[in-house]
Structure 1
């Protein structure tokens, strides 16, 4: 059983979100009524009520996670609320559909191929002019310390300084519209490419040149 399956039943008791921080980060996506959202790494569905508040009651939200037990917890909590839960590994599985916004909250360090994964989500699943937000309600150093302690239980990479990570994204042709990090948060906001647009170089060329 993987780490997140093991933690699913107690996750919400051990990880309490800061509503003010989450609202501040989510405001970067500029969600409006009627917009479609893909919540990648939804876990127990922490972000779902915040998303729902902004897009309205009748717009489907697609929530994806690789952990079956995390999704089970989320589906129990938000049954009948118009959320479509999908078990998938976004690094391996292709997702159907395009969205106005894609949210990756507290999941980015667990990607083995971060630039490739984000590039594919932008090109395959984000509408032209859509927004993709990588967000953490904790600072990079604190998160890296937590993940160092969990290294034997779950895969995680060290978060790079935000400017370095942005450089990797822009090197492959992704458009970053906002980024920042403090002791309390970390975010990168990207914009969708136009229909038919291609990234400037391959991910492999960009990272390993």
Structure 2
């Protein structure tokens, strides 16, 4: 998957993203519970987009939030929501070994994992951003089937098929101790501890 194609795709959608990406608060809270986002932890928000999760994180009073996205225009939209000094936004490819970010206690990829490319390469790269004992969570606020069907129709050139939660857990298990593996019609969660 070509990173420039992915960047351009999301740059083109950034201005209107929030008008068609309406989060379900109850599902997001459930995901953040599974991801163990809690008071005083450091959070790395991977493919943060327009910063949809910022208010949900802040309600949990984290120490810091480092939000990373490949798309400059998504980052620009996120900056508009960045009113808290604990939030730092970085426009970069998080999978690039030269990307400099602090290590975090919690790393969350929300509604974006298929756009990171090869699942094994992505998990391996994301693990290097965790402190010992840190938790990586890949989560989606809908079913794998609906994600894969939509991507086939509208985003096939900028996404890989989302594997089953159990298949992704198998990849996680090469690097992390598995904590949660769950998917149904409304949520998809895989998490593991370093």
Contact 2:106/2:136 (8 A) holds in 1? yes
Q: Which residue of 2 aligns with 1:61?
A: 65
- Indicate how the Cα distance of structure 1 residues 169 and 127 shifts in structure 2: closer, same or farther if over 3 A, else same: same
- State the Cα deviation string for residues 126-164 of structure 1 (Å, max 9, x = none): 111111110000000000011001235x41111111112
Greater Rg over alpha carbons, structure: 1
Match of 1:144 among 129, 139, 148: 148
Structure scoring higher RCO (CA < 8 A, sep ≥ 6) equals 2
- State the Cα deviation string for residues 24-79 of structure 1 (Å, max 9, x = none): 111112222211101000000011111111134xx331100000000001101223
User: In 2, Cα distance between the equivalents of 1:184 and 1:61?
Assistant: 26
The alignment's TM-score, normalised by the length of structure 1, stands at 0.84
Q: Which residue of 2 aligns with 1:85?
A: 89
- Structure 2, unpaired ranges of 5+: 1-6
Matched pairs, number: 187
- Structure 1, unpaired ranges of 5+: 193-209
Q: What is the aligned-residue RMSD (CA, Å)? A: 1.6
Question: What's the CA shift for 1:80?
Answer: 4.5
Match of 1:166 among 166, 169, 172: 169
Superposition misfits of 4+ residues, deviation over 3 angstroms: none
The alignment's TM-score, normalised by the length of structure 2, stands at 0.90
